[in-house]
């Protein structure tokens, strides 16, 4: 037992000695690390203060003393120039004060304080860009007649070829009626024209081409309405000023384009125009109208964001037209679907709001001449919703059939006032019945 206890005592002593040794070694390493760190920080401090000391030493170090001869020479030069010392001082201060405005002007013109030339260039270009000179009415009517006469198959030519036959059979009369129907004249109107031709003895007795053509021309003019008043309200002597025109129609008929072209037509007549971009539902509609207006110097009133209240835009446009004493205000509206009651009601709201400021003189329905009888459904609904006073037929060129002119007037009881001839900026002309009939007859 005593020997076993002695062994445990020895083991414990060894353990204690080992722990003490480890503690001493750890403390030694820690002190060395702290000492090394302090030396490094002191070294960095010395290196950072060394340049400062050199700079301060160079500032405090006295300048080298000149020799005796140099002192005497400098004194003589100072005495000799003492009388002139005031003039250079005054001159230098004057030059300094004169240079300060120049430097200020240069700093004002510097890129940092003023806009760059690139940013100023678009504004200057827009300011000096001259407005275009739109084409007049007479040349537009001449082109209307020329384009209609060059169309692929005007129905007037087809009728003329049938009527100049020696003996007209029942099949020929059916061909005449089919030709009229295919030209979108309408079934009822086509039957009436055929009955009139059958009853005209000159068609049966006289086969002279010029006589047949004259008879056909007279009948077509009767259907088109040669004596109908097709003038726009803004062109009349008793027109209001500003005269308000509201453009209506479905999407895709060229309504916004027609509004821009109509503005050009009025500008060609020397009238001042304001455009109202009340089509706030179609993306970029206002931008499109603004482009049209910028070409001829016509201001455009538009909303500051898409989806704004179109009636509010129309009212602002009316106020702008009154303030600027414009001759004509043209309001472009959204392309309404005639089967959407709430959208059609919006048209009525636009008219009521505008009439609080100005009377509405004209409501032009824009129809695509190539849609045929489908356009008649649109025309009837628009006429009931807002009260159409006239029709503007677009795309009435070589691709259109032309008979829609007769049909739309019969259905609505309002005249076709404007026709679109193509895609050019001046391809919109007042409708001329005689020119139209001569064009479809191929004259």
Residues belonging to the binding site for GTP are: 249-256, 332-336, 394-397
Dihedral, 187, 191, 193, 197 alpha carbons, nearest 10: 150
Q: Answer whether 278's CB lies under 8 Å from 261's CB.
A: no
Rounded to an integer, what distance in angstroms lies between the CA atom of residue 250 and that of residue 102? 63
Q: Which residues, in sequence order, are bridge partners of residue 276?
A: 301, 331
* The pair of three-digit structure tokens given for residue 354, joined into one six-digit string: 């505008």
Beta strands in 129-205 (DSSP E): none
Q: Answer whether 302's CB lies under 8 Å from 313's CB.
A: yes
In the chain, the largest separation of any two C-alpha atoms, in whole Å, equals 163
What is residue 234's DSSP assignment? G
Q: Answer whether 279's CB lies under 8 Å from 334's CB.
A: yes
Strands 416-420 and 428-430: antiparallel
Rounded to an integer, what distance in angstroms lies between the CA atom of residue 416 and that of residue 406? 9
Q: What is the enclosing helix (H) or strand (E) of 430? A: strand 428-430
* Other C-beta atoms lying within 10 Å of the C-beta of residue 216: 21
Burial of 421 (0-12, 13-18, 19+ CB in 10 A): buried
- Residue whose entry in the numeric block shows the structure tokens 């206890």: 5
Rounded to an integer, what distance in angstroms lies between the CA atom of residue 204 and that of residue 225? 25
Annotated binding site: 249-256, 332-336, 394-397
């Amino acid at each position: 037992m005593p020997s076993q206890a002695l062994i445990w005592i020895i083991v414990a002593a060894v353990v204690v000695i080992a722990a003490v040794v480890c503690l001493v070694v750890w403390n030694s390493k820690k002190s060395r690390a702290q000492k090394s760190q302090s030396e490094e920080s002191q070294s960095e401090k010395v290196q950072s203060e060394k340049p400062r000391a050199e700079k301060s030493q160079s500032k405090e170090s006295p300048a080298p003393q000149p020799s005796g001869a140099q002192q005497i020479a400098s004194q003589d030069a100072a005495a000799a120039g003492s009388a002139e010392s005031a003039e250079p001082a005054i001159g230098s201060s004057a030059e300094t004060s004169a240079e300060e405005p120049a430097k200020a002007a240069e700093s004002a013109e510097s890129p940092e304080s003023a806009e760059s030339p690139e940013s100023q260039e678009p504004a200057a270009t827009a300011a000096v860009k001259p407005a275009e000179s739109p084409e007049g009415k007479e040349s537009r009517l001449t082109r209307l007649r020329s384009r209609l006469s060059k169309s692929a198959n005007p129905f007037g030519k087809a009728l003329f070829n049938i009527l100049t036959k020696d003996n007209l059979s029942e099949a020929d009369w059916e061909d005449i009626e089919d030709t009229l129907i295919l030209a979108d004249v309408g079934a009822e109107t086509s039957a009436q024209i055929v009955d009139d031709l059958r009853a005209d003895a000159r068609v049966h007795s006289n086969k002279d081409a010029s006589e047949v053509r004259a008879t056909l021309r007279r009948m077509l003019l009767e259907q088109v309405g040669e004596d109908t008043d097709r003038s726009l309200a803004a062109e009349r002597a008793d027109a209001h000023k500003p005269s308000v025109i509201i453009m209506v129609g479905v999407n895709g008929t060229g309504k916004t384009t027609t509004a821009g072209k109509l503005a050009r037509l009025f500008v060609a007549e020397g009238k001042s125009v304001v455009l109202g971009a009340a089509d706030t539902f179609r993306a970029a509609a206002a931008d499109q109208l603004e482009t049209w207006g910028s070409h001829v110097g016509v201001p455009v009133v538009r909303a500051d964001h898409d989806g704004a209240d179109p009636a509010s835009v129309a009212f602002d446009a009316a106020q702008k037209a009154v303030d600027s004493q414009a001759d004509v205000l043209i309001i472009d509206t959204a392309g309404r679907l005639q089967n959407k009651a709430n959208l059609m009601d919006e048209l009525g709201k636009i008219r009521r709001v505008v009439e609080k400021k100005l009377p509405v003189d004209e409501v032009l329905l824009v129809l695509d001449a190539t849609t045929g009888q489908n356009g008649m459904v649109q025309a009837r609904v628009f006429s009931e919703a807002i009260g159409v006073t006239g029709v503007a037929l677009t795309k009435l060129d070589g691709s259109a059939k032309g008979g829609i002119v007769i049909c739309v007037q019969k259905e609505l009881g309002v005249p076709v006032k404007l026709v679109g001839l193509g895609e050019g900026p001046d391809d919109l002309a007042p409708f001329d019945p005689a020119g139209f009939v001569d064009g479809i007859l191929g004259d």
